[in-house]
Amino acid sequence: MSAIIDMLAQRGRLESFLIGGEWVAPRGHLTREVVNPATEAALCHIVLGSTADVDLAVMAATAAFTGWSESAPAARAAMLARLEALMEARAEVLADCMSLEMGAARAYARSAQVPLAMAHVRTAREVLEGFTFQSPRGTTAIRHEPIGICALITPWNWPLYQITAKIAPALAAGCCVVLKPSELAPLSALLLAELIEEAGFPPGVFNLVQGDGPCVGAALAAHPGVDMISITGSTRAGIEVARAAAPTIKRVAQELGGKSPNVILPDADLVRAVAPGVAAAMRNLGQSCSAPTRMIVPRAALPEVEALAQEAATQIVIGDPFDAQATHGAIANRAQFDRIQTMIAAGIDEGARLVAGGPGRPDGLAAGLFVRPTIFSDVRTEMRIAQEEIFGPVLCLIPYDDVDEAVRIANDTVFGLGAHVQGSDLARAQTVACRIRAGQVHLNYPAWDPHAPFGGYKQSGNGREYGREGMLEYLEVKAILGFYPAP
């Protein structure tokens, strides 16, 4: 058992929930094994919550709401600043935790998983500090008021990043929250909960209940005391949450699946376009809903693209997450590992041509949830591997004959979360970006912008996260007519 698990066990965190400012014993009695994906050995067990635990957490959030929603924005901003500072101070432990619970390479957890999570806290504070909650429109006052009690359901692939993307703007807006982290990667959420306590947030403003989707997730979605539910997860899970939420007419925000295109325009510099595209598709071992896993390339350039992509794949080093040489670790859980193997087999069966990788584990790794970075070429847009979200390091090279066809292929999906466009002629690249039906488009691999709103078209969900738009999701709009005297 690792030092992190020992620490959490000694504090009783593995068998308690944070509700109303206290770490309390769950009402539920079922447990769940937390597995280290690099070894497939059990790390520990957590207790899963029940509907009674959800009721208690919602009651605690409701009791805290009036005071928190009426608190000064400057006071809320100061607490977010303290939380960010505490995350920076504990960054090494947080990174270790994510390497253990979901298999991220330690170097990647420290360089991306933790700092990007911190960026959401910082961004929420920056938005709050510049936000006007009430403004005049003639004689009418337009007010933005916190929506109320927010239930937040987060996934296992970016366990800390996805939590802060939700709790930071919700708390900044003046809402109180109940968090259900993924039961498959729940440990970093426990560490974050301790930091939220240490930062000085009032009791009941933040509550954490561990649990699974069919019980705790469904109870939160259906709860009449919850005013909004935000979920990041699969499209299937988003549908179930929306169904459960419908009878209480609560706001539902969904960040769901993706099958993002990366359109390489005919004038693109292939050396600059292909290798970063492979890296982007394989980021976090492809376990990112916005990963650009469909590289759409000019047919005449396909052989050169294949060679460049194959070379880029050789730069990926799969191994023990705590090995300093490993650029990528293990797939986060057994179900996802099996799904990736099934989809690689489907690609082979449908006639796609392997350029790199393939089924099974990389050489030298006989155990653990390790997969081979895989690239298929001659992929047709109707193939399963081009249509279904694989959520693993599998890249499809899809050829096109003209730019109109490239755009059609890019939009030939039920998803619409992210997209990339590469081209030397920026004006043409901008035009193509505007034609792609996705919530966020990247031109020529720009730097990540935490203020850029993120969310999907079509079956990738609704609502937006990050930046000002992310905080607006947690606010209601009120108009008070006659509030100001006539000029």
Question: Does 434 participate in catalysis according to the annotation?
Answer: no
Of the candidates 84, 255, 306, 473, the residue annotated as catalytic is 255
Phi, psi of 241 (to 5 degrees): -65, -45
Taking the C-alpha atoms of residue 306 and residue 453, their distance in angstroms, rounded to an integer, is: 33
Question: Does 183 participate in catalysis according to the annotation?
Answer: no
Of the candidates 289, 396, 465, 473, the residue annotated as catalytic is 289
Give the catalytic positions in this structure: 255, 289
